[in-house]
Structure 1
Amino acid sequence: MPVKSKVQQRLMGSDFELIVVADNEAASRQRLYEGVAEIQRIEQLLTAFNDTSQTALLNKQAGTQPVTVDAEVYALISRCIRLSALTQGAFDITAGALKALYNFRQGSFTMPDAATLSQTLKRVGYRHIALQPGNRVFLQRKGMRIGFGAVGKGYAADRVKALWTAAGITSGVINASGDLCAWGRQPDGTPWKVGIADPDHADRVLFWLPVENAAVATSGNYEQYFERNGVRYSHNIDPVSGQPVPYIKSVTVVSPSAELSDALATAVTVMGKDAGLYLVAQLPQVHCLIIDGQNRVFQSKHINIHAKA
């Protein structure tokens, strides 16, 4: 009978859980080791907290000169630009400069003044990323910053899945604090499932979502937010306006790719319920569930949610 093995480790700033179903214990341990090593490799490639990472080098040379990056980083940036265009800028890897204006972890919160916000917005925008031949990337404005916080964990999960499936693994899960990809089934034949948290009580599950050969990502404001005049504002920033996003507490996206789910969860949060659901309806094999500021639940067609917990 297949053996299910797992490992839990802090990676990319999140609690990762890797689960693999293999023929024997030794094969499972080998796959888990390879999976952790792959995530660590991607973290070193993309992190903004290491001066030698490709992200850091790109940011350092912003407005000065292009930087030659690895082919996979060039391809990832290219996909991010296409996602930005698809979402009309709601998803944008250059939004880091805006996030630096806000502090959601302190008891007191202040909005930046209009002049500061206006100046910062000049350094934001996916259209200012120039992709050049030879895997060269140029951030065209000084002070620009890119970051892969809204897509990096999903990319890492997809890479581990690719690594494992190439090795013949027909069932597994890569879970980054609730953002996960899963394929196959558990050894007892039941599907993998992910819980969608209550935004007001993060340790309580509202719904169970069975996952079979799909990826799920949730963007929620229940950990970092502030409230003003009865409105809760998310830590997600609208890259176009530069303002924190109100009214949406949680967005869960299901798609074939963890990278895509990760990015779209952020985009739908920024776009809001109506525009977000409209976008998802146009995308094949993509589904979402939205919980708004009044705890009302909205979902796209064909999403398969099981009974409340």
Structure 2
Amino acid sequence: MHRSSIQQRLMGSDFELIVTDQDEAAARQRLSEGVAEIQRIEKLLTVFSDTSQTSQLNRQAGMAPVQVDAEVYALIERCIRLSALTQGAFDISSGALKALYNFKQATFQLPDAYTLQQALSVTGYRYIELQQDRKVYLQHKGMQIGFGAVGKGYAADRVKALWMAKGVQNGVINASGDLTAWGVQADGNPWKVGIADPDDPNRVLLWLPVQNGSVATSGNYEQYFEHKGIRYSHNIDPISGQPVPFIKSVTIISPSAELSDALATAVTVMGPEAGLYLVDQLPQVHCLLIDAHNKVYQSRNINIHAKA
């Protein structure tokens, strides 16, 4: 089988798209359609453009509802359901909290109690009101929603659906290591994703075969800060407003990239006990968590998946 691929910077990540079962002309067509679909979704959801639907919603927060596209409405609806399922550990409305922290600066400062309280008062998925006729209303001025924790996953699921509808039986969408794959590689072997060693991201801790699913990892080894000897990740707990300590990485395997993406964030916030308990209740969802002491936690059925 012939392997065709394209690499491009999209949605702030390095994407690689791969197909293996198409002739060269068809493969080129599929790859360019995949890139175009990701670009289309980025335009809809990005917070870095004034014309995106996310920016329109944030601008009208506390003032007026905004009519959004059917797919954006449905995405927000799924995000709210996931917030309820994770008891608020996953929350697209935590933009005001994220704005308080800059993990890319050499000197890091925690916000003072008053500033944190102000941001918390406009954070909460319950303040996202879904109205008739695809209208969405953010109930408080200063509210900011963002799709950073699900956008890449949503885009990967859309490309997969697009390609499968056009007969692509073997494909991969790789978003900076978050992998959506189905079918097999050109040599007939299953696709594999490497789980990075949190202490040495260039070293692979273990390999997981991915036959028809999506793997997403949330880790503290790329964006983090250390304060009084404790390393905090760039994931913010939407309930306390604080960055999450003591978790080095969380990897989720599930049938959907959007779900894997969102749950990797949620389980990081929830911690090993509550996070793995949740994962064990969800069909076809698996988890691997590494804590600050390099202890590896696995969900109940991950071994079966890893040997598949």
With normalisation by structure 1, the TM-score equals: 0.97
Alignment deviations for residues 205-225 of structure 1 (CA, whole Å, 9 cap, x no partner): 101010000100000010111
Give 1:180 deviation, angstroms. 1.6
Amino acid at match of 2:270: M
Amino acid at match of 1:146: I
Amino acid at match of 1:302: N
Alignment deviations for residues 286-309 of structure 1 (CA, whole Å, 9 cap, x no partner): 0000000011111112214769xx
Amino acid at match of 2:293: Q
Q: Decide whether the 8 Å contact of 1:207 with 1:306 is kept in 2.
A: no
Give 1:187 deviation, angstroms. 2.2
Give 1:85 deviation, angstroms. 0.3
Alignment deviations for residues 7-59 of structure 1 (CA, whole Å, 9 cap, x no partner): 00000000000001223111111100100000000000000000000000000
The aligned residue for residue 217 of structure 1 is: 216
Alignment deviations for residues 150-179 of structure 1 (CA, whole Å, 9 cap, x no partner): 000000000000000000111100010011
Instruction: Write out aligned runs for 1:85-96 (5 A).
Output: 85-96=84-95
- Backbone CA RMSD of aligned residues: 1.1
Mapped partners of 1:306, 1:215: distance in 2: 13
Instruction: Write out aligned runs for 1:1-309 (5 A).
Output: 2-304=1-303
Q: Which moved more, 1:192-201 or 1:228-237?
A: 228-237
Alignment deviations for residues 126-148 of structure 1 (CA, whole Å, 9 cap, x no partner): 00000001100000100000000
Amino acid at match of 2:218: S
Mapped partners of 2:22, 2:286: distance in 1: 33
Amino acid at match of 1:16: F
Give 1:228 deviation, angstroms. 2.1
Mapped partners of 1:23, 1:94: distance in 2: 41
Q: Which moved more, 1:219-228 or 1:154-163?
A: 219-228
Give 1:231 deviation, angstroms. 1.5
Q: Decide whether the 8 Å contact of 2:22 with 2:168 is kept in 1.
A: no
Mapped partners of 2:139, 2:18: distance in 1: 42
Q: Decide whether the 8 Å contact of 1:252 with 1:290 is kept in 2.
A: yes
Task: Figure out how many residues of one structure are paired with residues of the other and give that number.
Answer: 306
Give 1:229 deviation, angstroms. 2.6
User: Which structure 1 residue ranges, 5 or more long, are not aligned?
Assistant: none
Q: What is the percent sequence identity of the aligned residues?
A: 74
